[in-house]
Amino acid sequence: MKRRTIVKLGAALLALGVSNSALVAGAQAQDAPTEITMLTLGNKPTNGRLEAMLEKLNERLVQQANVKLDLFYIEWADWQTQYNVQLLSGDDNVDLIATATDWLFGWENAEKGAFLPLSEEMLKTHAPKTWAQVDAKGHWDLTKFDGQIYFMPEDNYTQYTNHGFFYRGDWAKEAGFANGEISKLEDFTTYFDWIKKNKSDVYPWDASASAGKDAILAAYMQSHTDLQTLQQVTAGNFFPFQTSAKDPYKVASYLMEGDELLAAAQLTKKWNEIGVWREDALNYDGDTREEFYAGRSGADQHHTQTYVTQIVNNMNTKQPGSDPKFFWWGKENGNFFKDIFTHGAMAVSANSKHPEKALEVYDLIRNDKENYMLFNFGIEGTDYVLTADGKLGYPEGYDSSTDGLGTNYWWGRMDEFEPPKTSDAPNKAEIIAALDSQAKDYPYSTLIVSKSAIDPTLAAIGGVLSEYLPQLENGKFDDPAAAIAEMREKLKAVGWDEAVASIQSDMDKWAAARGLK
């Protein structure tokens, strides 16, 4: 490796700008297994368990398709930059690339050409099981950009990542809520107030800077309107656009119209005055979840998946009797969505030398139960055990903080292979059923907003929002009404209407093409 780079550097010095890809000629032995590298997210574990698992898995993969799998990690520090830089480098050592359309730049990179377009032919031949399963659900459409399939979606895995408050049933009961159930967002005022008065040394909700960018404002909007946020369009850190369920093809926004934003800001102002969070919550960056576990915070804000896999289990161990509960945004009126099917997905690198083999590996991991168990949970007996009632648990002396397998496979999990876990919340099924009964399907999965035309405007909008929303969220304006009026004026000035018009025209075209309007 090093030698090669030195040679390359020398060549470059002599002939600046001359492509030297000719130097990378390499011959591969015919029968040696093809090596496929999968890019995933996470900090590479150093406990040796990953390597042990890969050795076992590769024995099987060599037999099944004469391939070997290795993992390449994009580590958490600066992961957004790291991910894009890795793709920008055009590295041909990576074959499979983990992606997602809502948080991992899936569409952007498809558009920029980092991913290989996948033909039906290729998929049918080299990933037949995946093809059949996704096809049966009619989900390939969700992965198309300009009519081409760009990735394989994690469309057969049930999870909810809708947000809400985790809170303590025991305290809620004492605060006067029957069964400790809080069923309205505004009722948290009572809960927080009670904590403030009765629990010294506890923040009613120890909110941190990152948790609080606009969570409550959006929550209030969800609970009090039928607005549905367009997940395709971000401005800076925010999702500014919605449609109304009543008028689903017209772009709207609670940030610009209506009184809900003001009402929400008045609620957060009240909370700020009560002292729900730290005075300096906007700069506080502590580990608020640990505070909740330690009984020093009355609430924490995150999503369902976190609640059922971690919160209940941890609270029951660390705060016995705390009766951890979950209130999700939009619970009052059922205004929230199921996860989109491209919340996790797998693409093939445009630079991969063995795209067919890459597809084969993916197909084998996703659809072969034994491979799946190995790759996701490790080796039975050392990494996990199956209890008598078929639940997945951990062996004696296992410490999840140091012994994790860390494959972080969020790019093609399958419901039928996922065993229930001993750490799951006992009421998991109940919660999921409750969500299932309310949740709506996201109607705009196939809508593609051509952002390049309005990127500058969106950036400017993001700039304005970043000046106002965090302060509104934390109740820091003395006169929220004036602040909102000022914000709306500035938004107009940076081209809000233009952005709306452009998104609207994409929406119209999309709706017309599908005969929806």
Q: Does 486 bind other proteins (CB under 8 A)?
A: no
Integer angstrom CA distances of residue 97 from 295, 343, 346, 391, 471: 40, 14, 6, 31, 38
| Residues 324-353 as x/- pattern, contact with other proteins by CB under 8 A | -------------------x------x---
Given the rule CB under 8 A, which of 8-16, 171-179, 352-360, 362-370 is the region that contacts other proteins?
Answer: 8-16
Binding mask 145-164 for other proteins (x = CB under 8 A): ----------------x-x-
The residue from 185, 264, 464, 491 that contacts other proteins (CB under 8 A) is 464
Judged by DSSP in three states, 39 sits in: strand
Residue 102 structure tokens: 């809502």
Instruction: Round to whole Å and give the CA distance between 467 and 351.
Output: 41
Q: What is the CA radius of gyration of the chain?
A: 25
Q: Under the criterion CB under 8 A, does residue 99 sit at the interface with other proteins?
A: no
Q: What is the closest distance, in whole angstroms, from the C-beta atom of residue 65 to other proteins in the complex?
A: 26
208 binds other proteins (CB under 8 A): yes
End-to-end CA distance of the chain: 58
C-beta separation of 219 from 329 below 8 A? yes
22 near other proteins (CB under 8 A): no
Does 409 engage in binding with other proteins (CB under 8 A)? no
Report, in Å, the least distance between residue 24 CB and other proteins. 8
Angle at 172 between CA 168 and CA 177, to 5 degrees: 145
Is the CB of residue 68 less than 8 Å from the CB of residue 62? yes
User: Residue 106 and residue 94: Cα distance in Å, rounded?
Assistant: 16
Residue among 234, 422, 438, 505 that touches other proteins (CB under 8 A): 234
Instruction: Classify residue 328 as exposed, middle or buried by CB count within 10 Å of its CB (0-12, 13-18, 19+).
Output: buried
Of 235 and 448, nearer to other proteins (C-beta) is 235
Segment near other proteins (CB under 8 A); pick from 73-81, 144-152, 174-182, 264-272: 73-81
- By C-beta, is 128 or 295 nearer to other proteins? 295
Cβ-based nearer residue to other proteins, 305 or 333: 305
Strand order across the 251-252 sheet? 227-229, 242-244, 251-252
* Candidate segments 51-59, 100-108, 320-328, 411-419, binder of other proteins by CB under 8 A: 100-108
* # of chain residues touching other proteins (CB under 8 A): 106
| Near other proteins by CB under 8 A: residue from 100, 149, 392, 500 | 100
78 binds other proteins per the rule CB under 8 A: yes
| Binding to other proteins in span 39-68, by CB under 8 A | 41, 43-44, 46
From the list 10, 416, 336, 380, the residue with the least C-alpha distance to 162 is 336
20 is a site residue for other proteins (CB under 8 A):
yes
Nearer to other proteins, 114 or 255 (CB): 114
Task: List, in sequence order, the alpha helices (H) in 225-378.
Answer: 260-274, 288-293, 304-306, 312-318, 355-367, 369-377
Position 291 contacts other proteins (CB under 8 A): yes
Paired with 99 in beta bridges are 345
Whole-number Å distance between alpha carbons of 472 and 486: 12
Out of 30, 63, 200, 401, name the contact with other proteins by CB under 8 A. 401
Which part of the chain contacts other proteins (CB under 8 A), choosing from 60-68, 284-292, 371-379, 428-436? 284-292
